[in-house]
Amino acid sequence: MTTEKIDANQKSELLGIIQNHEKRELIPILQKTQKVFGFIPQEAAEIISKELNIALPMIYGVITFYSQFKLKPSGKYIIKICVGTACHVKGASSLIDAIKEFLSLEEGEETTQDMLFSIEAVSCLGTCGLAPALVINDDVYGLLTPEKATNLIAEIQRNEGV
Ligand code: FES
């Protein structure tokens, strides 16, 4: 959970989302909230709770039940590494190890300090013929080795001036 403050524009956008939905439509409200912020900030959850008169623990119960919802901001580039069967067999875990090491991510950390990259393990991306594969934002990369994967990230870092 993060305590980042939300600004006045974001707050009015959130109130608009809430007003356009029924109380029973909590999941669509949370989905749209996450689109605005990139995650569900604590203050947004509190506003939703107050406006819909739903207890805050119940809202957090829904947020934590569904893996689509995030309680922390993600990096600019989200690297989804496939750990489905085909990718697992072809070395997905060595990709994960190499990427984590390259990005200096400690155990349990998902996002780099500079907020440029987040990593996620996901199930089959539907491109098993390209195993092992990963997606960076909307771009799919396949037939990867640890070196190819870290080169992709290094290229993004160069483009971002890191
Ligand atoms: S198992 Fe990785 S793309 Fe299908």
Best of 79, 80, 81, 82 for a ligand 1 pocket test (most atoms within 8 Å of beta carbon): 82
Q: The domain containing residue 139 runs over which residues? A: 77-159
pLDDT single digits (tens) 122-148: 999 999 999 999 999 999 999 999 999
Q: Under 8 Å CB-to-CB from 132, ≥6 apart: which residues?
A: 81, 82, 86, 87, 90, 91, 92, 95, 142, 143, 144
Residue 3 falls within a domain, yes or no? no
The answer on 111 and 43 residing in a single domain is: no
**Is 93 in a helix, a strand, or coil?**
helix
Is the predicted pLDDT of residue 108 greater than 90, yes or no?
no
Number of domains composing the chain: 2
Q: What is the pLDDT of residues 5-26, one digit of tens each?
A: 789 999 999 999 999 999 999 9
Residue 71 lies in a domain: no
Going by CA atoms, what residue is nearest to atom 1 of ligand 1?
A: 84
CA of 134 to the centre of ligand 1 (A): 9
Q: Is residue 141 part of a domain?
A: yes
Nearest atom within ligand 1 for CA of residue 127: 3
- Answer yes or no: do 56 and 90 share one domain: no
The share of the chain scoring above pLDDT 90, in percent, equals 89
Q: Does the residue 1 lie in any domain? A: no
Q: Which helix (H) or strand (E) holds 158?
A: helix 146-159
